[in-house]
Structure 1
């Protein structure tokens, strides 16, 4: 049997010959680089430039220099100038004129502009593969609202489904929101959310850039069938001590950067919310205003506490190390007791709720350049996520038999007692190594391995008792119910991945290709059992064609085509125990096969238009089916049983387009439109409940038909405009539109469409003597709620999609505008 990872003997020989003869690019071009002051728009004469091959250049009186760069790959410019902060800019494989703006910082002696060759996978936005948002763009769109969040910007990108204001888990090109994998500085994070998914842990002030890969992205990356979000934290200044302070409506951010002798730096960043004073004030006010007495039920104000520490150090020009540490916590607590007495009887209501979450991880890595044509990267890290919840719900109604049919209490059972305690802990340790080798003549060879170990500890103790004597109420279908459910699992998983790929870029830049293969295997360890998957092979192919180049109205027109297989492990498997009777190879990773066609045109007037169409086939999707069994001898006794299946399927067809106006003096922004048609199928779903002891297989399956998932939306539109009437004032506008998604109780109906409107006013102030930057912003989200719009609720056939109007009702996400403000100061 031939090992698919074993290369033919001829390849190592070729690599050795090329290594001995040198890996420098044989094709190059001159590009004009203009370095200017970002605030005053004046050229910076005398900037020193050192290219990747050791040559040095100086900018002239106009801040310009002709630099020789490789013509077969992209490069990244890192800039520094005496008295200015570092800057960076990606230089694509096409184009001859580029501008780089620097902002004043501290005094930097003998700093220089450095051009380093970079692998195409780490470049900026790439058609057919990924979309990148820079730190500056993040500050405009993510720094708004009660909680500033990078996901606020990610949700505005093409292919991302609208999920609402307080939901940081969107659907990516028709995929399940849980399929989105996130990584910070190369560390895969399984639970990057806070407040139950309302926000992410990614604070804009900590982030240098964010890249969403939702196309046929490189074989270097895996663990997702939908999308990969890569977050890069800010790099500290190697020469300057910097301080940054931000204060918003309900949170404060603080950042401090300290240099390490010109070879690196260390940066500490923190974020805290301060809703406690608001809660305390409202509780004090409740003594005079009894109508708000319910505020006293809050025992722990909603809170978020995040801290990050990052640093890097360059030992030599060829060896650099970097480390990132993160700790975050969030939670809320409530203890509510009340008694109601009226003509319908006496009722006691008790609610005790406490919820705490913790996220922590540390990652360290190095970048080593043993040769000018070779880069080796390695990193390792460990992380912890824990969620603890205690909930006690009690409701007792006396006199319930006399409740009138139109009473608001008519739909409540006589007695309810629910006690639930849940602990969910995830521990993961991971490491990876990657090698990129520039073979010359446009070829790049890359390979790597990735190991990810996870441990899941889950416990739950649930006791439920619902008593209902009045058979005339809506709860007659429930009957008297007593359900005890317990969970106690400690499972481990080992995910092993390896990849190899070859990239090619023709000397004329007319054609590019990437062919790669990623192999993944998963091994599962329970208390008394083990399971494993068959190794899965995920080949991927991307082809790029540069049809036009520097043709008057257009700088370039490129086409891209790609196809590939992807795999990931579903969170559903983490609770498997020996009672589920699974055997080796029944356990399967989620799989998807995606194909894509796209086109991108860059206009001479700094406009860019991208359109991509795709088809995604999802198979081997994991899902669970919960069966409720009724004891024939005692219909009030019910038990639940969970089955795990790995034969779910899905199909998604869609296209995205994006019109972008590059950054300019008075106006920039982007317009996106996404169409998504997604259906899923769970073949082994059965009616619920069913009689105890019945043969499930004998029941007709209800999951044989395709259905629209709960997160599905047909249309998503986002318009982002940045108006700059002056250099110190910016008006940011966001208008969105999203068609309705299926309702939770009836998938045949869809809620009304959403059309969020947000406005952000920002004032800038720079003091050149003190070298301080000051920023003030006022944000107003959900402006459209000022208009009470009534819409027809759409009723749709969940299998065909045919729509018909049903009800007439007001529809909006939140009934009031959300006003926020922020103050930022940087030195």
Structure 2
């Protein structure tokens, strides 16, 4: 019965309704003439500024094509974007001109709709582009969460069921480069990663790289998530506001004359004021088996009273846009995100009181100037400042006995400059050059005060600065409709090690047949700042990882090499994308991974990842279905763990399968998705054993056991409506349900020693963290 709803959709896949088609043949035809012809053929109307069509010409020859297919083909040729307002009316907006270090369009095999509307594949670039403004409905989401949306792509997984916990092709979340308007993000989640800390309603584009990254991206060895907020100056005041069952938000875009604009946005949780079913379910998953949920119990039947219970998150942005003329654009962006937790409890029987205070901030600013010297040569100059600040204070006391306190701080100050140029040498050749400077100041401090045993007190701190100088170059060659070659070279000098690291990158694509394309890419990457496990606050159970700089010894520079090859097939609404890859990572340590059963506290190692990503999609009129499958073998090798033999990586998900469906009917959108994957490895415990140093847990081989398979069904639906006669005010309501059949998935398994209730001995306790249960959510939005 659990899978009946999902399986029944197999039959829906092969049926659809008819849709009007037309044949068009444009040869160097003016864009405004094309619009007039399409309005006549499809009985629609375009709304646009006449400046958009100036000096814009279209070459297009398509037989029996739908309106959507034609519009996508036009978008591939000119820098415009269509937004469907109703069945008859479309708004046309101009988008920013792209450069070599960003994205170039490859018209003949351009895949505009990759999964659903708003998710596209740039085929002269390895990235996938996501536009929240145009994003179609996705399973379990009523709002376009920036980071959760890309988890439907093969090769992107979140074993922890979080938005920010992105594991891309065997990499860990700290190995991903996350940028917002050029500002580096060191903490991109709210509510301990449950939702993205980046507001989707002022986001213009999200670009995801799983491989083949441009040379301008660096100092991370896994994926790249490059987020750009809206860069257009609106003709009139635009805005919106809404809420769901965890938070509320609002945004406003205000033109200041014809050449400047200001954009502001804000979000805040209201869960410290209103308790909702959605928040309770999410809290149960986040806080389970932590000090907050357990209340620091010694025995299972201890009675705990909550004395302090405060949690909230917030974020806001301010952006200024200035376009004094068509050749110059100035952008100033500011971002602030915050998560605050203050929790206290009391066990009256023992007079034990405890309090935990956690404050996490990520803020930053950037300024960018884009200048076009002519149609062939352009430049951009930018600067950014990013600050990450984590502060934790934990106290524990028993009246007239002891009063302990633990303090932790982790702070990053990141300042950077970039100069980038782009030169179209001729029709086939493009060159890009750039220079980057970044200064990373990373601080870590830990202090402990023991009132009973002052000799146990300690204060540890570390402050390191790494200044990096980078030069990079990109070369692109495209010959007719057959070949495309991207070659990049990046050279990094890290002052903390006084070493130079060279990173070659390449990408080749060739059109074998009209509907079949072959692709191959390779890259070398290095990373000097990463997260390690910090065991002193392990009892707290949350945020026990800290950012540190590589020192070449205890924390080596991470190195990665990846090679990818595959095929893309497109025909008659079918899209098949297959990629195989091999990835090798050096510089891993037991500090970064946190194994349970190691005798030696510190160990260095490496990993090898061999995998394949497959995407199969079919579109029938307004119905879409896609199957996403990832096969991965991720092995770790450490010299003094598992006798030096390879073992499964901590997040080695051998098989990961998603099956998603969306259907659009007038103003109603419905989406359903089923997610099933192999359980992650864990180290099983045999029991307890006595040693000269006391009782310890006796473990089996490292990561030799696996958790049960994971599976979950999500559903969502939204309804859009007009709130005014002139369509100036619009509304949306939506409902989503996570884990429809309430499957109890185990996300992780660990063990601990616990005091026995019957004697003075100890017993072994199995700790299972489970997935979110059946969780409904509701959204309501208004925009104008």
TM-score by length of 2: 0.74
Q: How does 1:281-292 map to 2 (within 5 A)?
A: none
* Alpha-carbon distance between aligned partners in 2 of 1:260 and 1:45, rounded to the nearest angstrom: 26
CA drift at 1:139: 6.3
Partner of 1:360: 363
CA drift at 1:730: 1.1
Partner of 2:137: 140
1:781 aligns with 2:738: yes
CA contact (8 A) 1:142 1:148 kept: no
* Alpha-carbon distance between aligned partners in 1 of 2:676 and 2:134, rounded to the nearest angstrom: 21
* Alpha-carbon distance between aligned partners in 2 of 1:135 and 1:626, rounded to the nearest angstrom: 34
Q: How does 1:671-820 map to 2 (within 5 A)?
A: 671-683=627-639, 685=640, 704-724=644-664, 726-743=665-682, 747-766=703-722, 767-785=724-742, 813-814=770-771, 816-820=773-777
Relative distance call for 1:445 and 1:763 in structure 2 (3 A) is same
Relative distance call for 1:299 and 1:194 in structure 2 (3 A) is same
Relative distance call for 1:714 and 1:328 in structure 2 (3 A) is same
CA drift at 1:561: 0.8
SS of 2:149's equivalent? helix
* Alpha-carbon distance between aligned partners in 2 of 1:466 and 1:784, rounded to the nearest angstrom: 51
CA drift at 1:649: 1.4
Partner of 1:486: 459
Which residue of 527, 534, 540 corresponds with 2:505? Answer: 540
Unaligned regions of 5+ residues in structure 1, if any? 1-27, 104-121, 284-292, 341-346, 398-414, 468-480, 525-531, 550-555, 628-639, 686-700, 795-808
CA drift at 1:85: 6.3
Partner of 2:320: 311
1:599 aligns with 2:567: yes
SS of 1:217's equivalent? coil
Partner of 2:122: 125
1:44 aligns with 2:45: yes
**In terms of mean alpha carbon deviation, does 741-750 or 729-738 score higher?**
741-750
* Alpha-carbon distance between aligned partners in 2 of 1:652 and 1:516, rounded to the nearest angstrom: 23
* Alpha-carbon distance between aligned partners in 2 of 1:29 and 1:259, rounded to the nearest angstrom: 35
CA drift at 1:810: 13
CA drift at 1:620: 3.3
1:156 aligns with 2:163: no
* Alpha-carbon distance between aligned partners in 2 of 1:718 and 1:626, rounded to the nearest angstrom: 27
1:86 aligns with 2:93: yes
Partner of 2:698: none
Which residue of 610, 622, 627 corresponds with 2:577? Answer: 610
Partner of 2:22: none
CA drift at 1:56: 6.8
Relative distance call for 1:374 and 1:456 in structure 2 (3 A) is same
Equivalent pairs counted in the alignment come to: 661
CA contact (8 A) 2:140 2:716 kept: no
* Alpha-carbon distance between aligned partners in 2 of 1:77 and 1:680, rounded to the nearest angstrom: 47
CA contact (8 A) 1:77 1:91 kept: no
Tell which structure's C-alpha radius of gyration is larger.
1
What do the CA deviations read for 1:216-265 (whole angstroms, capped 9, x no partner)?
A: 22222112111011111123543110120111112101011111323342
* Alpha-carbon distance between aligned partners in 2 of 1:168 and 1:86, rounded to the nearest angstrom: 31
* Alpha-carbon distance between aligned partners in 2 of 1:275 and 1:98, rounded to the nearest angstrom: 39
CA drift at 1:74: 6.2
Relative distance call for 1:466 and 1:572 in structure 2 (3 A) is farther
Relative distance call for 1:641 and 1:74 in structure 2 (3 A) is farther
CA contact (8 A) 2:29 2:57 kept: no
CA contact (8 A) 1:373 1:439 kept: yes
* Alpha-carbon distance between aligned partners in 2 of 1:566 and 1:592, rounded to the nearest angstrom: 5
CA drift at 1:539: 0.7
SS of 1:94's equivalent? helix
* Alpha-carbon distance between aligned partners in 2 of 1:333 and 1:813, rounded to the nearest angstrom: 24
CA contact (8 A) 2:311 2:342 kept: yes
Relative distance call for 1:748 and 1:268 in structure 2 (3 A) is same
Relative distance call for 1:34 and 1:442 in structure 2 (3 A) is same
* Alpha-carbon distance between aligned partners in 2 of 1:64 and 1:593, rounded to the nearest angstrom: 39
1:375 aligns with 2:378: yes
Relative distance call for 1:497 and 1:98 in structure 2 (3 A) is closer
Relative distance call for 1:503 and 1:305 in structure 2 (3 A) is same
1:667 aligns with 2:653: no
CA contact (8 A) 1:460 1:486 kept: yes
CA drift at 1:741: 0.6
Q: How does 1:18-417 map to 2 (within 5 A)?
A: 42-44=43-45, 54=55, 75-78=78-81, 84=91, 86=93, 92-94=106-108, 124-126=121-123, 129-136=126-133, 138=135, 140-141=137-138, 144=141, 149-166=145-162, 168-278=164-274, 297=306, 299-340=308-349, 347-394=350-397
Partner of 2:495: 523
CA drift at 1:148: 7.3
SS of 1:246's equivalent? strand
CA contact (8 A) 2:95 2:232 kept: no
Unaligned regions of 5+ residues in structure 2, if any? 1-26, 61-65, 97-103, 281-301, 535-547, 686-702, 751-765
Partner of 2:4: none
CA contact (8 A) 1:610 1:659 kept: yes
1:460 aligns with 2:446: yes
CA contact (8 A) 1:533 1:587 kept: no
* Alpha-carbon distance between aligned partners in 2 of 1:776 and 1:123, rounded to the nearest angstrom: 26
SS of 1:154's equivalent? helix
Relative distance call for 1:572 and 1:163 in structure 2 (3 A) is closer
CA contact (8 A) 2:42 2:67 kept: no
Partner of 2:758: none
* Alpha-carbon distance between aligned partners in 2 of 1:538 and 1:379, rounded to the nearest angstrom: 23
Which residue of 498, 502, 506 corresponds with 2:475? Answer: 502
CA drift at 1:315: 1.1
CA drift at 1:203: 2.3
* Alpha-carbon distance between aligned partners in 2 of 1:768 and 1:522, rounded to the nearest angstrom: 60
SS of 1:238's equivalent? coil
Relative distance call for 1:37 and 1:306 in structure 2 (3 A) is farther
Relative distance call for 1:35 and 1:655 in structure 2 (3 A) is farther
TM-score by length of 1: 0.71
CA drift at 1:814: 3.5
* Alpha-carbon distance between aligned partners in 2 of 1:195 and 1:64, rounded to the nearest angstrom: 38
* Alpha-carbon distance between aligned partners in 2 of 1:41 and 1:482, rounded to the nearest angstrom: 82
SS of 1:392's equivalent? strand
- Aligned-residue RMSD, C-alpha: 4.6
CA contact (8 A) 1:453 1:494 kept: yes
SS of 1:155's equivalent? helix
* Alpha-carbon distance between aligned partners in 2 of 1:542 and 1:625, rounded to the nearest angstrom: 31
CA drift at 1:64: 12
* Alpha-carbon distance between aligned partners in 2 of 1:596 and 1:665, rounded to the nearest angstrom: 33
Relative distance call for 1:95 and 1:568 in structure 2 (3 A) is closer
What do the CA deviations read for 1:684-720 (whole angstroms, capped 9, x no partner)?
A: x5xxxxxxxxxxxxxxx76622232222211112222
Relative distance call for 1:488 and 1:498 in structure 2 (3 A) is same
Relative distance call for 1:761 and 1:608 in structure 2 (3 A) is same
